Amino acid sequence: MINLESPKKFKPLINQAHQVAEEVLRPNSRKYDLAEHAYPKELDMLAALIDGLNDSGNGGAGATGVRRDESKSEGNRNGTNLSTVLSIIETCWGDVGLTLTMPRQGLGNSAIASVASDEQHERFDGKWAAMAITEPDVGSDASAIKTTAVYDEKTDEYVLNGTKIFVTSGERADLVVVWASLDLSKGRAAIKSFVVERSNPGMKLIRLEHKLGIRASDTAQFVLEDCRVPAADLLGTPEIDAKKSFAGAMQTFDNTRPLVAAMAVGVAKAALDLTREKLAEVGVEVDYDRPAAVQTSAAATLLELESDYEAALLLTMQAAWMADNRRPNSLQASLAKAKAGRTGTDVALRCVELCGSVGYSEGDLLEKWARDAKILDIFEGTQQIQLLIIARQLLKKSSADLK
């Protein structure tokens, strides 16, 4: 029978993540929302703790742990994908911007974990990696990137040229995983990812964004000008295989979309918990044994939002569980991202509405969560793009058939 509880073995990890959220992230939440671009030094002390969790094989607070386990053992596995989403839900209950800027937990780490060779995995271990796909004229359609990588056989290096925008943790990370084309005339099959050291003189940070939400997380723009990268830092194979190449790069999203879904679930949980508390203070309590229709409008709304939250949570856990069990999960990763992305935004905004002026003022964090939530329905593929992927999968259409 299907068991919808969180696995018992992850309880200590979940409790630890919740404690971090309560004692470190929440108390610093407003401070770094107001001090955009200031480095949250309080997170440095967490780095060792998170590394310990990752080393223990139990996953951590961010993206580092989501390497697929290739061992042959059969049966039900609750592995690092599931433990990581469960701990991310807790840290994002604390603060999503600060979770995104946890040292060594970048989305680039997940790309490395997903596609790097064992040698590269070892070499980049312990480094913090950002992810650079988006360009000034390229967002949702990642296959249209214009950044180029030309092989220089004299030095056994690739030479990268182009511009990358909206790179989360681009200023603070040690490495940036850059998507570039080996041959623009060969389309998506020629797109490869390259691990570029942040200190590489060919990659210049030219600006940091000012944003609606997740202001604790830095978002950088880079220009790559004859940026030389050792050939050994190309992730995956240099061959241009029309069948496999782009699918390989896109597989990273099967691991990262459940993580972003988990972030949205965490924000929704934070908003619901606080709203429940605020409503109880004025005498509105949900009665779970009676139909919504016979309760106050506020209680019925809370019930509706809680059911959306549960659906988003279960889809997120399902997508992560499938990754742990080596099952193809592109459809489930997009279902989770679409449902959780929308739920995070809806729940946070409707909680602001339920709490009125308390929800809207800076005295509490509800207004901030409503701002923070929106990005989770945009990056790693927007709501519309997830729906498109889901439709393609269900109708068995290719990206050329259904655009």
Ligand X SMILES: Cc1cc2nc3c(=O)[nH]c(=O)nc-3n(C[C@H](O)[C@H](O)[C@H](O)COP(=O)(O)OP(=O)(O)OC[C@H]3O[C@@H](n4cnc5c(N)ncnc54)[C@H](O)[C@@H]3O)c2cc1C
For ligand X, the nearest residue by Cβ is 139
- Identify the residue among 61, 145, 167, 366 touching ligand X (CB under 6 A): 167
Query: Binders of ligand X among 338-377, rule CB under 6 A?
Result: 375
- Neighbour tally for 361: CB within 10 Å: 12
Cα separation, 121 vs 119, whole angstroms: 5
- Identify the residue among 139, 187, 202, 230 touching ligand X (CB under 6 A): 139
Q: Which is the catalytic residue, given 157, 171, 306, 380?
A: 380
385 binds ligand X (CB under 6 A): yes
- Name the amino acid, one letter, at 277: E
- Identify the residue among 29, 58, 163, 219 touching ligand X (CB under 6 A): 219
378 binds ligand X (CB under 6 A): yes
Q: How far is CA 182 from the centre of its chain?
A: 27
Comparing C-alpha atoms, which of 294, 153, 169, 258 is closest to residue 220? Answer: 169
Residue pointed to by tokens 């180029």 = 148
Considering the complex, state which of residue 157 and residue 380 has its C-beta at the smaller distance from ligand X: 380
Residue pointed to by tokens 């309560």 = 22
Q: Please list the residues that pair with 158 across neighbouring strands.
A: 151, 229
Q: Is 119 a catalytic residue?
A: no
Question: Contact region for ligand X (CB under 6 A) — 148-156, 162-170, 308-316, 343-351?
Answer: 162-170
* Per-position DSSP letters for 256-320, written without gaps between them: HHHHHHHHHHHHHHHHHHHHHHHHHHTT----TTS-GGGS-HHHHHHHHHHHHHHHHHHHHHHHH
Considering the complex, state which of residue 53 and residue 131 has its C-beta at the smaller distance from ligand X: 131
* x-or-dash string of contact with ligand X, 97-136, rule CB under 6 A: ----------x----------------------xxxxx--
- Identify the residue among 362, 384, 391, 397 touching ligand X (CB under 6 A): 384
Structure tokens at 268: 């929704």
| Cβ burial, residue 225 (10 Å; 0-12/13-18/19+) | middle
Comparing C-alpha atoms, which of 357, 334, 208 is closest to residue 282? Answer: 357
Q: How far is the CB of 17 from ligand X (least distance, A)?
A: 22
Structure tokens at 236: 């995956």
Q: Tell me the helices (H) and strands (E) count for the chain, helix number first.
A: 12, 8
Q: How far is the CB of 336 from ligand X (least distance, A)?
A: 17
The dihedrals phi and psi of 377, each to the nearest 5 degrees, come to -100, 5
Contact 346, 307 (CB under 8 A): no
382 binds ligand X (CB under 6 A): yes
Question: Contact region for ligand X (CB under 6 A) — 1-9, 160-168, 195-203, 270-278?
Answer: 160-168
- Identify the residue among 128, 166, 194, 246 touching ligand X (CB under 6 A): 166
Size of the site for ligand X (CB under 6 A): 21
Q: How far is the CB of 131 from ligand X (least distance, A)?
A: 5
379 binds ligand X (CB under 6 A): yes
Q: How far is the CB of 162 from ligand X (least distance, A)?
A: 12
399 binds ligand X (CB under 6 A): no
Interface with ligand X by CB under 6 A: which residues? 107, 130-134, 139-140, 166-168, 211, 219, 375, 378-379, 382, 384-385, 388, 403
Which residues are designated catalytic? 380
